[in-house]
Amino acid sequence: MLALLGVLGLVAGRYVRTLAAAFAPDPADHRAEARAALRALVRTVPVPAWPPLPEVVTAVVTVLVAWRAGLPYVYAAVAGTALAFVDWRTSRLPDVITLPSYPILALTLLPTGELPRALLGGLALAAAYGVLWFVRPADLGLGDVKLAGLIGLAGGALGWQAWAVAALGGQFLGALYAVVLLATRRATRATQFPFGPFMLLGALAGLCLGG
């Protein structure tokens, strides 16, 4: 089963590659961009390209999450990988990916029997990030708040320990990256960097350690 999921992860990673290339840092028309991204997905041939970084990362994350957390979390693994690549490249977390992921993720989590706890976890983490965004809007985007809700959903379904690791892991990893940038003089205190990938790495840790 895990070998099959690895192959499917490679195929899904080809679509992750397409999404990562379909979005721009500051598009003139978000709706037109979303339509173009959908057309690009439809035209994508599901064969890994070279170098196969998105494909391999997607496959590894999918297998890890399925092994440690279970099959209901596979969608979260693929969608999270796509959002990480898009955010790292554009410093954006497009609504066209995050918002539809709410009902899709809720449906995939139904078999766990923990949907009420998942919804509570999503609401709690989104609220916490909403407060952070209100306090320091220059350092945190609304896209991060919406992503936090998805992470809270997945972590909450698995358990409060997984939720806590996912919630705190992203903050820790983001702070660690900032310290490394400052220590190596590759950035200043005013330097901005995409926070979504670190939130998602924290979520991956939560799903793998809490499973």
20-52 pLDDT, tens digit per residue, is 999 999 999 999 999 999 999 999 999 999 999
Cα dist. 103→80, 97, 106, 175 in Å? 15, 11, 5, 31
> Considering the entire predicted model, what is its pTM?
0.95
Alpha carbon 47 to its chain's center: 23
Instruction: Please tell me the distance from the alpha carbon of residue 150 to that of residue 70, in angstroms, as a whole number.
Output: 17
86-127 pLDDT, tens digit per residue, is 999 999 999 999 999 999 999 999 999 999 999 999 999 999
137-184 pLDDT, tens digit per residue, is 877 899 999 999 999 999 999 999 999 999 999 999 999 999 998 888
Q: Among 5-9, 75-79, 120-124, 186-190, which is the least confidently predicted range? A: 186-190
Q: What is the mean pLDDT of residues 50-70?
A: 96
Confidence bin at 211 (pLDDT 50/70/90): low
The per-residue b/e assignment along 99-127, b for 16 or more CB within 10 angstroms, e otherwise, is eebeeebbebbeebebbebbbbbbebbbe
On the question of pLDDT at 187 being above 80, the answer is: no
C-alpha dihedral sign at 138, 142, 147, 151: positive
